[in-house]
Amino acid sequence: MLEQLLDLVKNFGKETVVENPEIPNEQNHEVLADATKTITSGLQNVMAGGGLQNILDLFKGNSGAGAGGGLLKNPMVSMMIGHFISKLVGKYNMSPSSASSVANNLIPNVLNGVITETNNPENPGFTLDGLLGSLTGGGSGGGTQLQDLLSQFTGGADTGNSGGGLDIQDLIGNFTKKAQDSFQPSSQSGGGGLMDMIKGFLSR
């Protein structure tokens, strides 16, 4: 799932980052890796804080309207954009206006792509369970509980999954604990493991 997310980052980052004259070519992979880390860490932070419902709301709120107004107004997305702007200014010495332009384009577009693929029945391998599971160290082996729940929210066909709503608190608790546990080692090691994996994928 992480590799699929990176494919989206590379796809949307082609014009925003790779073809951007303000970003030296030798920094392209690093910037794209930081964009990916911003999104993954943002989702991990929200989950660790018990905000799985917020993530579900973000994913069920996709109306095909693109990355514009809707996503830019979402507090989670705003948080990720702000973090990425700070990274671009502080680490890559970009001007605030250029950094804002890159972040406001790349982060919402990638997230919109993730939401679209998650809600795409023709791409059964791209599920919310798989995405969040990969971010909490659990892989995608948790079944499709979240995806089924998302299908109910978005009018999908899986409404026969009775009791889905009753289990949501258990799901939130489960993902919250996994996210908190996954943060323990990474916070002590500086999170290098995930970043190294991202850079490895990008250099292929």
Number of domains forming the structure of the chain: 1
Instruction: Please tell me the total number of residues recorded for the chain in this structure.
Output: 204
Residues contacting 88, CB < 8 A, separation 6+: 31, 34, 94, 98, 99, 102, 103
Higher pLDDT, 91 or 149: 91
Helix (H, G, I), strand (E, B) or coil at 10: helix
What DSSP designation does 124 have? T
Task: Classify the phi-psi angles of 137: left when phi > 0, otherwise alpha if psi is within -120 to 50, otherwise beta.
Answer: left
Please tell me the pTM assigned to this model. Answer: 0.77
Residues contacting 156, CB < 8 A, separation 6+: 121, 150
Rounded CA-CA distance 169/56 in Å is 13
pLDDT band at 48 (very low <50, low <70, confident <90, very high): confident
Range of the domain at 144: 2-202
**pLDDT above 50: residue 178:** yes
